[in-house]
Amino acid sequence: MSFATAPSPPVTLPRGRADLVVVGAGIIGLAHAVEAVRRGLRVTVVERDLRPVGASVRNFGHCCITAQQGDLLTLAQRSRTGWLDAAAQAGLWAPEAGALVVARSATELAVLEELRDERGADAVRLRTRDEVGEALGRATDERADLVGGALLPADLRVNPREAAPRLAAWLAGQPGATVLWGTNVTGVEPGTVHTARGPVHGDQILLCVGHDLDRLYPVEAEAHGIERCRLSMARIEAPTAFRTDAAVLTATSMLRYDAFTATPSATRLRAEVTGHSPELLDVVANVMFTRLPDGTVLVGDSHAYDVTEIPFQDEATSALLLREVARVLGVREVRVTERWQGVYASSARGPLLVRDVAPGVRAVAVTSGVGMTLSFGLAAATFDGALKATA
Ligand SMILES: Cc1cc2nc3c(=O)[nH]c(=O)nc-3n(C[C@H](O)[C@H](O)[C@H](O)COP(=O)(O)OP(=O)(O)OC[C@H]3O[C@@H](n4cnc5c(N)ncnc54)[C@H](O)[C@@H]3O)c2cc1C
């Protein structure tokens, strides 16, 4: 699918009043709009750009279910069902391919074994060196650095370049749903969203604008400590034997996601990675990759935090990540076809922002880098009234 789209038709603002106006056509806004349509509501989505170009199209397309913990695990499991339903409705690519966590040391394997002990052998399926090598497409005599791994079968894959645009197109065809592209929201008051094209009215308003909440509600964004997290990403040509649709995670992923960091061996793993690869920790790397349906592979990533992101991408960081990916794939080097910078909302104060900013106006954002994973669970919880909002 080509990412660019044809020129959009002229925008006509709806005359009537929707039950719900959603600001932002990223995955959080779209999941809420899809959920609203499922519940028979009239919904208008207002998006400033001509198509989704935010975090929701720049990511790995990995619904990282099993590695969540506590309430987020519950939301993620609910989200999985929502994704599969949406995929069936909108015709999305969403294989139940799972995630493959590669272990290249005894400590890495210990983390996976401990997670298996906690979650059970169905949720965390340990894999041998050869099974991991096979999935990575490595020749049998080039697997010596592999120790084993685990398949997390509940994880899903989607194509981030396709999912949000297709969901928006599906929504636009539903009775009672309208998607307004190229319509920048300049301010909000109860019952009315003010846009650069004029007012849009709705009984309830949901702001799903990610890190750009600080453009509309700076005080509320500051109160939640919202920062921009900037990530280095690239797309590479896949080595010919690499075939799996599972998301491939590595040791630095195990240092990142709560289910792994809660295991007894996680502290030892951090010390081990600090010892052999401190440069990965310096750039807060999560070395992982996912294959797209066309066979190319999305690889990344590093994390840099600031309220206003630094626009410059450090080539040394990109080179470091690519070297690591090549090592995991067992190839000398990889060929890059695209690079980009991803930006998402982040906060040290909590993984979710759910805040009532005015009567009938709620801001919802995932502030922990797993918005693809949580989107549909979050949307269902919003409509069930299951989320506790701060006023
Ligand atoms: C590189 C990278 C890798 C990631 N990998 C994963 C992953 O594998 N799994 C996972 O679960 N998560 C991942 N994430 C996180 C995930 O992508 C985000 O949490 C999620 O996409 C956030 O969705 P969103 O809808 O809030 O934001 P966005 O997709 O950024 O959407 C917000 C939308 O609001 C619109 N908007 C903003 N202001 C206005 C305005 N004033 N008027 C109108 N419209 C406005 C924007 O134009 C934008 O379209 C990753 C993120 C990045 C950047």
pLDDT in tens, 137-168: 999 999 999 999 999 999 999 999 999 999 99
Instruction: Compute, in angstroms, the gap from residue 33 CA to the centroid of ligand 1.
Output: 15
Closest residue by CA, ligand 1 atom 4:
59
The pLDDT tens digits of the residues spanning 306-351 come to 999 999 999 999 999 999 999 999 999 999 999 999 999 999 999 9
- Mean pLDDT computed over 39-55: 97
Binding site membership of 342 for ligand 1 (Cβ less than 6 Å): yes
The pLDDT tens digits of the residues spanning 113-141 come to 999 999 999 999 999 999 999 999 999 99
Let me know: does 94 contact 156? Beta carbons within 8 Å.
yes
Based on the number of CB atoms within 10 Å of its own CB, is 309 exposed (0-12), middle (13-18) or buried (19 or more)?
Answer: middle
Binding site membership of 195 for ligand 1 (Cβ less than 6 Å): no
Instruction: Compute, in angstroms, the gap from residue 24 CA to the centroid of ligand 1.
Output: 9
- How many other C-beta atoms are found inside a 10 Å radius of the C-beta of residue 262? 14
Binding site membership of 148 for ligand 1 (Cβ less than 6 Å): no
- How many other C-beta atoms are found inside a 10 Å radius of the C-beta of residue 213? 26
- Collapsing DSSP states into helix, strand and coil, what is residue 344? strand
Binding site membership of 205 for ligand 1 (Cβ less than 6 Å): no
- Mean pLDDT computed over 179-204: 98
Average pLDDT of the chain is 96
Q: Which atom of ligand 1 is nearest to the CA of 340?
A: 1
Which of 56, 185, 224, 374 should be mutated for ligand 1, with most atoms under 8 A from CB? Answer: 56
Q: Which domains does the chain have, with CATH numbers?
A: 17-88+159-225+349-384 (3.50.50.60), 99-153+227-346 (3.30.9.10)
Binding site membership of 231 for ligand 1 (Cβ less than 6 Å): yes
- Mean pLDDT computed over 173-190: 97
Helices (H) and strands (E) in the chain, counts: 14, 19
Q: How confident is the model at residue 10 (pLDDT cuts 50, 70, 90)?
A: confident
Q: How confident is the model at residue 3 (pLDDT cuts 50, 70, 90)?
A: low
Closest residue by CA, ligand 1 atom 16:
371
> Using the 8-state DSSP alphabet, how is residue 39 labeled?
T
Q: How confident is the model at residue 1 (pLDDT cuts 50, 70, 90)?
A: very low
Binding site membership of 165 for ligand 1 (Cβ less than 6 Å): no
Q: Which residues fall within 8 angstroms of residue 192, CB to CB, at 6 or more apart? A: 199, 200, 201, 202
The pLDDT tens digits of the residues spanning 238-294 come to 988 998 999 999 999 999 999 999 999 999 999 999 999 999 999 999 999 999 999
Instruction: Compute, in angstroms, the gap from residue 159 CA to the centroid of ligand 1.
Output: 14
5 has pLDDT over 60: no
Q: How confident is the model at residue 50 (pLDDT cuts 50, 70, 90)?
A: very high
Binding site membership of 289 for ligand 1 (Cβ less than 6 Å): no
Residue 346 corresponds to which amino acid? S
